[in-house]
Amino acid sequence: MAAATLVATAFGIIIIIVTAYVLAGGTLLTSEVVINAQKDMTDLQVKMLGTSMKVLSNTTDGSFFYIQILNDGREPIRDFEHVDVFLFSSGSWSRFSYQNTTPPIGSHWAKVSISPDVVYPNQWDPGESLNMSVSYSATPDYFKILTANGVPNS
């Protein structure tokens, strides 16, 4: 009988150790996930703070709306497919997504040129100006440009 008590005690201690190991592992895994999420959010906020644009000019020629914008922040903009242009005309907003053809067809905008494009070609670096064309059906009263990290300019 004494052996049964020792075996039951040893088995209980093993179960307590395994449970503590699982709980500690779960706690460490959860804290790692939270730390990575906080780091990613901080990185995104730093990029948002470093992104800035300044509209230099805008013109129309009847079917295209041309906008020239200076990247006066410290973050380069690489992913044009996530940059959207919004035009306000006739009391409503219209969204225009990026199209890699010039001139753009339909509800799209296209990159006409980047100048001076010497550091990283086809990337809108700080200090460079982007000339874009937007195809539209009605003359816009107002426009807004929204970058991939959520920074607008109008």
**Is the domain of 35 the same as that of 111?**
no
**Is the domain of 66 the same as that of 137?**
yes
**Is the domain of 18 the same as that of 77?**
no
**Is the domain of 40 the same as that of 66?**
no
**Is the domain of 9 the same as that of 29?**
yes
Tokens encoding 8: 């039951």
**Is the domain of 73 the same as that of 148?**
yes
Q: With b meaning 16 or more CB within 10 Å and e meaning fewer, what string describes 115-137?
A: eeeeeeeeebbbebbbbbbbbbe
**Is the domain of 5 the same as that of 23?**
yes
Bridge pairing between strands 129-135 and 142-146: unpaired
Cα–Cα distance, 41 to 140 (Å, whole number): 35
Where does residue 99 fall: left (phi above 0), alpha (psi -120 to 50 degrees), or beta otherwise?
beta
Tell me the pLDDT of the chain (154 aa) as tens digits: 677 888 888 889 999 999 999 999 999 999 999 999 999 999 888 888 888 899 999 888 878 889 999 999 888 888 889 899 998 988 889 898 888 877 777 788 888 889 988 888 888 899 999 999 988 877 788 899 988 887 887 7
The total of structural domains in the chain comes to 2
**Is the domain of 26 the same as that of 76?**
no
User: Residue 68 has what pLDDT?
Assistant: 93
Instruction: Give ∠ CA 91-93-98 in degrees, rounded to 5.
Output: 155
**Is the domain of 39 the same as that of 62?**
no
User: Residue 15 has what pLDDT?
Assistant: 92
Domain that holds residue 35: 1-50
What pTM value is reported for the model? Answer: 0.72
User: Residue 120 has what pLDDT?
Assistant: 85
Choose one of 50, 72, 88: the last residue of a domain. Answer: 50
User: Residue 1 has what pLDDT?
Assistant: 62
Dihedral angle, C-alpha 119, 125, 128, 132, nearest 10 ° = 120
**Is the domain of 17 the same as that of 81?**
no
Closest to 92 (Cα-Cα) out of 136, 150, 148: 136
